[in-house]
Structure 1
Amino acid sequence: MNISQDKKELINDLKQRYQYCFHSAYPEDIVFFEEETGIWSDDFYEFFTLVTGSLSYVIDHKRIPKKQLNVLRQSFEEQYPQIKSFQHILESYPLLHSYIQYHEETRKRIIAFIK
Structure 2
Amino acid sequence: MLRSNRYSLNNDVIRNLKLHKKELEGPLPSDAGKFEEDFEGAACAGDFYEYFAFVCGSLDFVLANKQMPARQRKALYKSFFELYPQYAQLKNALTDYPELSREIGRHERVRRLLVSILNKK
Q: TM-score range by the shorter chain?
A: 0.7 to 0.9
| Structure 2 residues without counterparts, runs of 5 or longer | none
Which of 20, 37, 46 is residue 42 of structure 1 equivalent to?
46
Distance 1:20 1:63 in 2: 23
AA aligned opposite 1:97: S
Which of 86, 102, 120 is residue 82 of structure 1 equivalent to?
86
Give the CA RMSD over aligned residues: 1.7
Which residue number corresponds to residue 59 of structure 1? 63
Please, what TM-score do these two structures have when normalized by structure 2?
0.83
Matches within 5 A, 1:6-21: 7-8=9-10, 9-21=12-24
AA aligned opposite 1:57: F
Alignment check: 8 A CA contact 1:90 1:96 kept: yes
Please, what TM-score do these two structures have when normalized by structure 1?
0.87
Distance 1:90 1:37 in 2: 11
| Structure 1 residues without counterparts, runs of 5 or longer | none
Count of aligned positions: 111
Write out the 4+ residue segments of structure 1 that deviate beyond 4 Å after TM superposition: none
Percent identity over paired residues? 32
Alignment check: 8 A CA contact 2:24 2:106 kept: no
